[in-house]
Structure 1
């Protein structure tokens, strides 16, 4: 048993009736709920807890690797000096 092909939607009697009718279609009425023109506003809540890269302890070798350098003694020493001089700002520049 083969099923008879359906005509394209734009050729259906329902679409023709909807085009000729100026009355709102019930399926498209939102009833005043939230949509693009009437968004839902949430009450203020607690402040979010943001973490940054400097919120955790960093070893000089970790900073050297995070900056894309090999952890050679020279790069680790440079990162150690950078951490000593700039503190968390040294990390924030690399890992925000």
Structure 2
């Protein structure tokens, strides 16, 4: 008796996220919290300070380096 669903293991066109939705838009407002969460880190004062410094140096494009 087979319990796996063959369709579940294959990507379907209906289940694939369009490429345009996977990218962020530079020029939009990016908060330090966004940058911290994009790295998978916890929202701690130290990480928020790091993110703010990175945003100060690189601007909103900083998040583009972390996300596809």
Give the TM-score category using the shorter length.
0.5 to 0.7
Q: CA deviation at 1:87?
A: 1.1
Q: Which runs of 5+ in 1 are unaligned?
A: 1-49
2-structure distance, mates of 1:89, 1:57: 10
2-structure distance, mates of 1:87, 1:56: 10
Higher RCO (C-alpha under 8 Å, 6+ residues apart): 2
**Is residue 23 of structure 2 the alignment partner of residue 56 of structure 1?**
no
**SS at 2:42's partner residue?**
coil
What TM-score comes out, normalization by structure 2 length? 0.58
What TM-score comes out, normalization by structure 1 length? 0.42
Q: CA deviation at 1:58?
A: 1.1
**Is residue 64 of structure 2 the alignment partner of residue 92 of structure 1?**
yes
What is the RMSD of the two structures over their aligned residues, measured on CA atoms? 1.9
Higher helix share: 2
**Is residue 49 of structure 2 the alignment partner of residue 77 of structure 1?**
yes
Q: Give aligned pairs, total.
A: 47
2-structure distance, mates of 1:93, 1:73: 22
Point out 4+ residue stretches in structure 1 off by more than 6 angstroms. none
Q: Which runs of 5+ in 2 are unaligned?
A: 1-19
